[in-house]
Amino acid sequence: MQHKGLREMHVSADDIELELQELKILSHIVSSSSLSEAAKKSGARKKKVLDIVDTLNRYGILVFFPAFSKIGLSLLLVAGGSETEAVARKIPHFALHLARSDGGMVYIVLADKKSLPEFRRQAFGGDVDIHVLGEVRGWNTEVIPYLAEKLGAPEKFTINSLIESLEKHLRDKALTKRELKKLFKHYKFREEHTRRSTRVYYVDLDPYDILLLDAKLTNAYTTVSSIARRHNLYRQVLHYHYVNHVLPVWRYNVIMWRDVHSSTRPRLLAYRGSDTDVVEEYFRLLYPTVFTVRPTNDKDLVFILTYLPGNREERVNELIERYRLDAAKVKDWELRATFFAEKPFSRIYTGRGWRSIYEDYVRAAGSAG
């Protein structure tokens, strides 16, 4: 029997219909210490928040990505040939394996900072591209509600209709590249001041924190109470660790809509140029972008994981051409997931810190050879 609070949402590979209140809840759910706090931030009753969370959980997966540098890890994007997979599967740090349409592989890797330099020098004989990544930035659940209100969207609207209104707004308000960059700078400012702020720069994790990170990475809609019940732990203990150790390392929401995944393959795009900051922020408003991420040592390069079909990139191309942006697509890989590592943080946590990726690589390469 369906929960009476659930509503039917229209979710497809082409568009999604959302209510403004749902977007507001989505922007607060991860950054809040409890559903009561999310209700207070959004101005909704807790019962309404529960109903919206149940609905959103039914149609999408919310992922908690921490600021990896704050927990002593680096996030890597590794691209190589298919021959790298035999070794990659044996290293617990390799969290996500994606097969490319050209026969190669892409890996998302969690690496300890201590042995990372040696791993980068020796990995796969140097026959791979390794990018140390910055923050994972998801679909912009902070700015989209702001734009919906500013542009006069009805209480229930589709993302495509919102983007059409935004494009008209851009044509009216931003006649030059300078004005366009100023507008997107304003949107970024709004996002920074909407998100939870923290002065925590580093957290020494313990087993409770690892348990929470693994659960929240799988689906951030999971409550601390349900995690405590599942593992027969005191909720108050886990709640303390969540508020004081886990929330301070949260940065951005990442959401993946379920119905999209069944009908469309993801694509990993890379754009290069001095104006990719605008392209990145625009992609973060488009449905259905999953996340964007930049290498830490290459400010002109941005990677974008999206389910946006190739024939719907006209919006991006038109934006680049209209404002003569210095941004060009340099990679376009169609992907399929090979496997996701279960409990990726637990796999590399020893109780005293993170496992050495270089030592694990040497062992895996030796056994594969």
**One pLDDT digit (tens) per residue for the chain, 369 residues:** 445 567 888 888 889 999 999 998 998 888 888 889 999 988 889 999 999 999 999 999 999 999 999 999 999 999 999 999 999 999 999 999 999 989 999 999 999 999 999 999 999 887 899 999 999 999 999 999 999 999 999 999 999 999 999 999 999 999 999 999 999 999 999 898 877 777 888 999 999 999 999 999 989 999 999 999 999 999 999 999 999 999 999 988 899 998 787 778 899 999 999 999 999 999 999 999 999 999 999 999 999 999 988 778 899 999 999 999 999 999 999 998 877 889 999 999 998 899 999 999 999 998 866
Is 22 inside any structural domain? no
Is 150 inside any structural domain? no
Task: DSSP letter for 285, please.
Answer: T
Is 30 inside any structural domain? no
Least Cα distance to 299 among 324, 280, 276 occurs for 276
Q: Please give the sequence-ordered ranges of beta strands (E in DSSP) within 174-308, or none if there are none.
A: 250-257, 267-272, 289-293, 301-306
Least Cα distance to 139 among 67, 61, 74 occurs for 61
Is 25 inside any structural domain? no
Other residues' Cβ atoms within 10 Å of the Cβ of residue 164? 13
Distance CA 45, CA 36 (A): 9
- Non-local (6+) Cβ contacts of 129 within 8 A are 78, 79, 80
Question: In whole angstroms, what separates CA 324 from the centre of its chain?
Answer: 28
**For the chain, how many structural domains are there in total?**
1
Token output for 322: 């209209």
Q: What sign for the dihedral angle of Cα 82, 88, 90, 92?
A: negative
Is 256 inside any structural domain? yes
Helix (H, G, I), strand (E, B) or coil at 131: strand
Is 229 inside any structural domain? yes
- Non-local (6+) Cβ contacts of 40 within 8 A are none
pLDDT per position as a tens digit, 214-236: 999 989 999 999 999 999 999 99
Is 156 inside any structural domain? no
- Non-local (6+) Cβ contacts of 67 within 8 A are 135, 249, 250, 251
Count the alpha carbons within 13 Å of 6 in the hemisphere toward its beta carbon.
Answer: 12
Helix 177-194 crosses helix 159-173 at what angle (to 10 degrees)? Answer: 130
Distance CA 26, CA 250 (A): 15
Q: What is the pTM of this model?
A: 0.94
Domain holding 86, by residue range, is 67-139+163-369
Token output for 206: 């313990």
Q: How far is CA 304 from CA 58, 91, 98, 250, in A?
A: 25, 25, 14, 20
Distance CA 126, CA 138 (A): 30
Residue whose entry in the numeric block shows the structure tokens 């959401």 = 255
Q: What angle do CA 69, 227, 353 make, to 5 degrees?
A: 35
Other residues' Cβ atoms within 10 Å of the Cβ of residue 275? 20
Q: What is the pLDDT of residue 254?
A: 92
Residue whose entry in the numeric block shows the structure tokens 């912009």 = 140
Distance CA 328, CA 308 (A): 17
DSSP bridge partners of 132: 76
Is 192 inside any structural domain? yes
